[in-house]
Structure 1
């Protein structure tokens, strides 16, 4: 049986990138990945991370290329390379400078999550006891992201802040890596209200294979594909993709830093001990990027058509990113005058 996986796009991975990892992506037929290059970092630290990525692109230009616009994804496919979209899972890089949106956009930071796991200047995370909604500064940030062609990501964002951001945004937004909370109840997964608003906004949801957002390592491929089909029934076939949140070859020290940030010490992420967090064990059907074809095969075995499988595996994200990222030259014209 032919697997309709010509375009595979993963809307979020937080893995340790090296040439071996890129080869695993190639074995899985992956076309493009949104790679996280910032969590808690300020502007200076984020610039450092982007600089490291630029060096990685230069040293591995036979395998990968940076994506600035949707057409770059197809160009990468044609050249046999992996397209990489840089993004952050927080807006801490902006600090309190609205103009930094344009600056980071021109450096190729094309996706920015409004909040990570803590309250920030923009709004609330999904772990806050009280979500006060999108701040005045947050509204300006969303509007500026719309203007320059940077995608608004709501994956870790709180309920009210998410609803506010969708209402303010004049362009479709994304939830790059989360699941419906009526299927897998966690604070990180999304309510029917948020996903209905996302649907009405024209946004795309990336369904997530991270074990803590499912039933752990024992989640079967059949269960995961069933979730995809149920979500398609709710959202529509054109608004569902994948965002695995794969965390391959990451250290435990990084996990502590990722969980705790600069000050968090008592948040229960529903993932074991708060004092000694550990990376989860992944289900047998998805442990490295070379396992992406398993998902396509599983969807087809549950009766999804080849055309629809192609949309979920990457076609929907290709359309969304092509429409969401302005042409690089057009984005440069949007820069603030000196």
Structure 2
């Protein structure tokens, strides 16, 4: 449905009295910084509109919620447990489905360190309650919900969890999360846990015995697996152990930029060889390249081209990892919980205040499609990387 999605005017948590919890002045969504759209000619603009209307566009990884305008209030904002979804902003995007990773490591409702089971359920329950009071997003349980959202001019909302630390050593918690609606979960988030090693670690011990049981349970229950923040050896073990293809939902090519947040060719090729899909990451200061030391849509799409050349168009998609607010300062404030300093590149690069062309989920969705059209990719190849590749894997995993 392109940008003609139905928005009912609902604002997050407006179903309860404004005095029932502390309200914060939220960051602007679209327009926090000057919007940048890749310039196109008349014919290209027409093609973008047609593809946006007729393609299913899925974000493999985003956080489509607001930060406080005063970013220093983010800790208090988070402790209240009501992350505000940008319903109106999402309705102006080209997305038909979004894997929403919610507060992930910034979910510090009961613990300053994050990644606690109680925090995860609190966050998930609050978001689902809010979602139930609006009509722009559909809570997605299966592939048919994605097609339905596309047909009805709505967006399929897929709750996801970036790392499995909150399940501790309890396999049944995977079932519980599935019951709450979670359809994709990461094995680790940078730090090691009971399942395996994260990218932060100097030594990667691989998938543990419990990790193997968790992979088997996720396969059996129909929950997709992500290894974006997982150690490279552990990821290779997961790919080997899983009977279904896996996702690297938000990474890039380490061959282009030497950062632990990006994946080596060996891992990327192993994922693709088993049928998996790799989504391109755009969080600030990740998908830089030696040719583009300033993070922007240009460096981002350089990673896309590299991955297409490496593993083929059938195994690449997009997971921008964007939000509505000051992402750079959020990383600085939550550096400990997100292990940002331990995983970023050691070589010098130009620090940015935001990623031009990919500043928020709405802008990212528009510029990804605009870039593909401007570069002359075929309609079929564009439809593959926007959503068909992801749907193919979900067809195996979610059945």
Structure 1 residues 234 and 98, CA gap change in structure 2 (3 angstroms) = same
- How far apart are the structure 1 equivalents of 2:62 and 2:98? 7
Could you tell me how far apart the structure 1 residues matched to 2:312 and 2:155 are?
28
Please report how far the alpha carbon of residue 258 of structure 1 lies from its aligned counterpart in structure 2 after TM superposition. Answer: 4.3
1:50 has 2:99 as partner: no
Whole-Å separation in 2 of the counterparts to 1:55 and 1:271: 39
How many residues were matched structurally? 317
Give the corresponding residue for 1:335.
none
1:120 maps to which of 171, 180, 193: 193
Measure how far apart 1:43 and its partner are: 2.2
Shift, 1:228, TM fit: 1.4
* CA shift for structure 1 position 253: 8.6
Whole-Å separation in 2 of the counterparts to 1:229 and 1:150: 29
Task: Report Cα offsets for 1:243-296 as digits up to 9, x if no partner.
Answer: 00113226889646743239x7x9534379xxxxxx963332222233222222
SS in structure 1 of the partner of residue 183 of structure 2: strand
Which of 201, 210, 223 is the aligned partner of 1:150?
223
- Most deviating of 89-98 and 309-318: 309-318
The answer on 1:314 being equivalent to 2:379 is no
Deviating more after overlay: 219-228 vs 151-160: 219-228
Q: Which moved more, 1:301-310 or 1:9-18?
A: 9-18
Query: Is contact 2:279–2:316 with CA below 8 Å preserved after alignment?
Result: yes
**Aligned residue in 2 for 1:290:** 362
User: Per-residue displacement from partner, 1:183-226 (whole Å, max 9, x unpaired)?
Assistant: 12211100011011101111100011223112388345344333
Please report how far the alpha carbon of residue 23 of structure 1 lies from its aligned counterpart in structure 2 after TM superposition.
2.1
Q: How far apart, in 2, do the equivalents of 1:53 and 1:96 lie?
A: 25
1:19–1:8 Cα change, 3 Å: farther
The 3 A distance-change label for structure 1 pair 124 and 316 is same
> Partner of 2:199: helix, strand, or coil?
coil
The higher radius of gyration belongs to: 2
More divergent stretch after superposition (249-258 vs 27-36): 249-258
Aligned match of 1:233: 309
TM-score, normalising length: structure 1: 0.86
**1:31 aligned residue:** 96
SS of the residue 1:268 aligns to:
helix
Tell me which of the two structures has the higher relative contact order, counting C-alpha pairs closer than 8 angstroms and 6 or more residues apart. 1
| CA deviation map 1:25-76 (0-9, x unaligned) | 222211111111333432222111111111121122x111111111111111
**Structure 2 residue 265 is matched with structure 1 residue 192:** yes
- RMSD in angstroms over aligned alpha carbons? 2.5
Conserved? CA contact 2:138–2:149, under 8 Å? yes
Measure how far apart 1:153 and its partner are: 0.4
**Secondary structure class of the residue paired with 1:177:** strand
3-state DSSP of counterpart to 1:156: coil
Choose which of 52, 55, 60 in structure 2 pairs with 1:11. Answer: 60
Please name the residue that 2:280 is paired with: 207
Greater mean deviation of Cα atoms: 95-104 or 157-166: 95-104
Residue in 2 that maps onto 1:330: none
Partner of 1:59, secondary structure, is coil
TM-score (normalised: structure 2): 0.73
Q: Is contact 1:217–1:283 with CA below 8 Å preserved after alignment?
A: no
Gaps of 5+ in 1: 273-278, 327-338
Comparing 316-325 and 113-122, the one that deviates more: 316-325
